[in-house]
A and B are shown apart, each in its own frame.
Chain A
Amino acid sequence: MKKNRVLAVVAAVAIATTSFVAFAPSASAACSSKLKIAYQGPLTGPEAALGINELNGVKFALKKFLAANKSANVDPVVYEVDDQGDPAVAGPIAPKVAAEECVVALVGPAYSGASKVSLPVYLSAGLPIITPSATNPTLYDFGKSIFHRAVLTDDYQGPALARLVTSKVKNAKVFLVNDATDYSVGLAKTVDITLAGRLVGKDTTPTGTTDFTATIAKIKKAKATAVIYTGYFSQAAVFVKQLRDSGSKIVFAAGDGVLDDQFIKLARKSAEGVLLSAPAIPMETANAKLAAEMVKAGWKPGVYTTESYDAANFFFDAIKAGNTDRASINKYVSTKSHKGLSKVLKFDAQGEVSGADVNGFVIKNGKIVLLGAIKA
């Protein structure tokens, strides 16, 4: 018993001395080493594919920037923030990122849900962000002055997607399917409003649905001539394959969640002729040479790689112009513009990019072919 007590006292003293010595460093301290650029998005967990696409874009941009500016005081490693696309995970991480004084800019967060939790924290820490893919229209309210978005919101994409279909299919009778995710439901809503009288039916197939039999039966019964699916590529591939295998040849259209080479790999022949809309543009389409260079460097481009590449480069512009702290970098990206691969990034007072288009695409011979901007 006695021995135990001595041990306990020793342990308690040890813990006490190591514990209360240092308090967390204050967030405002200046960075004394190399500047860091952060990326936030899902890097593990079920949504990781999108996050990795974007992270690769940032990594590639950083590599090219450092190759061109050898003397730049920037850490060659991207500060990775893995929020798993989950607001609950983002909660404890965001303050940590904000407290890292060397992190001067952040590309992300990738998802709207995680953004809603993270942005107020970054606002208070003055950390500028450019999100390459969070398309929920309300995000400005959460991030205010530090919020910038390199893509158009769902408010633009939905109507464009609807117009893409109605311009390609005469007297289209559209069946609308969403996958019950935040993104998908929001996009479907704006598609729905634009289509108005042309809508002949709707269904919701939650993520993870493997059997679309009932939905296909509904589509056939409604005698639809086009299907618009607002979910992500992996489900879309399963869906379109089953639709084609059921003998149906009607037009299949989808939003940016499907704009990924993986979709063609998964759906193969069934992917032919699928129409896609996106405020994003694939790296291969935007600049094939750069995309090849990126693959050679060991990173696969995917959806939103181009947008995150642009976002990162805008920050590098700011650093190159001599801005080394959060406030001045924020001022730079808020006021200046950057000619990116996807579009010219020039943010308005709400942090939204203006003058950009939603692009239409069609899948032809196993390739995503740009149709051009979808006209109003």
Chain B
Amino acid sequence: MANLKSRFNLRDKGAEYWERSPKWRRVALSIFFIAICYALPFLNNPLINTPGSDFQSVLFYPVGMYVLMAIGLNIVVGKSGLLDLGYVAFFAIGAYTMAILGTKTGLNFWEILPIGVGLAMLSGVLLGTPTLRLRGDYLAIVTLGFGEIVRIFAVNTDSIGGARGVAGIPTPPDIFKAKFTILDPKPYYWMLLTFTLLIIWMVRRMAARRPGRAWDAIRQDDDVAQLMGINTRKYKVWAFVLGAAVAGVGGVVYASQILSIVPDQFNLNVSILILACVVFGGIGNVWGVILGAVLLAFTPERIRFLSQPRILVFGIALVVMMNLRPDGILPKKKREHFDPDWQTVEESGEGSIK
């Protein structure tokens, strides 16, 4: 069984191929894939188009948006092992910043973007500093509560639109000839893709350096990491804040495209779906996470023709897939058994009772 699995590990095969490739081939491959991503809106392949919804719009939301958020949540859950069930809160904060500043001040998208990201990060610090000393499931419920609090606060506060939300959010100003309008999702998709690539690049740089190693250590054993002199609190808060920043970017971009937002869009289901993307694809591995997000965002749109049982099929697929591939579709390189906080490597590994 173990042999079979390692033979089927696509991730290892891919990584092996990548590592053996000369530099020119790596560059060529990267350019090729990035070009494909940018060209996606022009694809009209019967395999991948969406019969019930507009394919170009689907690429922006949910696909692109889920990918971005899943990469952000992966920093928190996958890299540093903190279970966050209230990730939608930071998305909401980004979106509301864009909505309120966009409608009430003359600031444009590019001026609001850093403010939105900053506010999301600030709330990440405010939530993270006191609560990150909690472990596993306790952190999960506290973050879940935070997500709900942000939504309930938005519903009950009339000065930010209350239950009606905010309408008439301005679109970003044109870049060269790319016009941002509700009718054409392509520029938004390209912008989102650019942000996503930048974030992937940053996360990969960071993962290979000190913070990445610190997160690895914290995830595998918090106590030992602390013993080894890592300021675990600091790195945990950093993971949290970076995750929040990514969701903040997503929120600002999303609000500028959808033009009107209501608090109920930012409910617990979004947090859970994004978490599902991360785990489904292969927690900790950015390519797996991307694949998971693409599949989970795209599948319900692709099978829209099923209408009624659509979500039911989605739920069953989730159970079946997790049973078949518990480490996700593209798991981390080494089959490392990490259980954020709860168990040590040996406890959950092959040593446990069958």
Contacts and interface: CB of A to CB of B under 8 A. Distances in A.
- Do A and B associate with each other? yes
B44 A23 contact: yes
A18 B47 contact: yes
A182 B164 contact: yes
A93 to B, nearest CB: 5
B265 A92 contact: no
Contacts of B55: 24
B46 interface: yes
A158 B185 CA distance: 38
A181 to B, nearest CB: 6
Contacts of B257: 91
A136 B163 CA distance: 12
B175 interface: no
A124 interface: yes
A117 B260 CA distance: 7
B57 interface: yes
B58 interface: yes
B43 A88 contact: no
B156 interface: yes
A182 B162 CA distance: 8
A182 to B, nearest CB: 5
B207 interface: no
Interface string A92-122: 1111100100000000000001001100110
A180 B156 contact: yes
A87 B308 CA distance: 19
A32 interface: no
A185 B307 contact: no
B322 interface: no
B46 A18 contact: yes
B182 interface: yes
B70 to A, nearest CB: 16
Contacts of A23: 42, 44
A342 interface: no
A185 B162 contact: yes
A21 B44 contact: yes
A87 B262 contact: yes
Interface string B1-31: 0000000000000000100000000000000
Contacts of A180: 155-156, 163
B54 A93 contact: yes
B21 to A, nearest CB: 11
Contact of B311 (A18, A20, A44): A44
B163 A95 contact: no
Contact of B156 (A19, A21, A93, A204): A204
Interface residues of B, number: 43
B90 interface: no
A82 interface: yes
Given A88-B265, A117-B259, A180-B163, A94 B54 contact: yes
Nearest to A21: B44
Contacts of A121: 182-183
A44 B265 contact: no
Given A82-B307, A92-B58, A117-B259, A181 B163 contact: yes
Nearest to A185: B163
Contacts of B337: none
Nearest to A186: B164
| Central interface residue in A43, A96, A206, by most chain B CB within 10 Å | A96
Nearest to A184: B163
Nearest to A99: B54
B226 interface: no
A180 B267 CA distance: 14
B261 interface: yes
B3 to A, nearest CB: 19
B165 A182 contact: yes
Nearest to A118: B182
Given A19-B43, A22-B44, A95-B56, A116 B183 contact: no
Interface of A: 1, 15, 18-24, 43-45, 80, 82, 86-88, 91-96, 99, 113, 116-117, 120-121, 124, 136, 138, 180-182, 184-186, 204, 206
20 contacts: A22-B44, A44-B307, A44-B310, A86-B265, A87-B265, A88-B61, A92-B50, A92-B54, A93-B57, A95-B56, A96-B54, A113-B165, A113-B260, A117-B258, A117-B260, A180-B156, A180-B163, A185-B162, A204-B156, A206-B155
Report the 10 A-B pairs with minimum CB-CB distance, sorted nearest first: A92-B57, A95-B54, A96-B54, A92-B53, A19-B45, A116-B260, A185-B163, A93-B53, A19-B43, A92-B58
Interface of B: 17, 42-47, 50, 52-58, 60-62, 152, 155-156, 162-165, 167, 182-183, 185, 257-262, 264-265, 301, 304, 307-308, 310-311
